[in-house]
Amino acid sequence: MRKILFIVLILNALLEGLTALRLILLPVQLEDFDAAVQGGYVLYGFAALSIAMSIIWFNKYGDKEISLAMGLAVLSTFHVSLTIASIILSVVPGIIGHGLLSIAFLYLFTNRGQCLPVSETKADS
């Protein structure tokens, strides 16, 4: 299950990382960029970057159940919230991407005990 955790985290890092890059660079890409109108996209870009980089924290601190639970809860909340926002705004790529990631992270959160390193789960038994 730990391999599945990191596969989902890598997918999250790729999707959110590419989204972050695209949105953070929006002011440079658009000649007529208006912060009042499109500034929220840049803000979301930095939020996406934070979520994308979570794999680093999981790699370092994801071997304890409490850290794993907290991280998966944050990622689940982020993706469920963005799925709802995408539905409200009718953003189909967001519905699909965030929807799939929210399901994956909710599943991992529910089964987080199986995501711990083998040595950690044996020590707890």
Structure tokens at 14: 């790729």
Contact 112, 9 (CB under 8 A): no
Nearest to 78 by CA among 55, 105, 38, 45: 105
What pLDDT digit, counting tens, does each position of 74-122 carry? 999 999 999 999 999 999 999 999 999 999 999 999 999 998 887 654 5
Nearest to 64 by CA among 104, 1, 121: 121
Q: How far is CA 31 from the centre of its chain?
A: 30
Q: pTM value? A: 0.84
Structure tokens at 85: 């926002």
- Quick one: pLDDT at residue 121? 47
Domain ranges of the chain: 2-120
Q: How far is CA 94 from the centre of its chain?
A: 12
Phi, psi of 112 (to 5 degrees): -60, -30
**Residue 20 burial (C-beta neighbours within 10 Å; 0-12, 13-18, 19+):** buried
What pLDDT digit, counting tens, does each position of 38-69 carry? 888 999 999 999 999 988 988 888 888 898 99
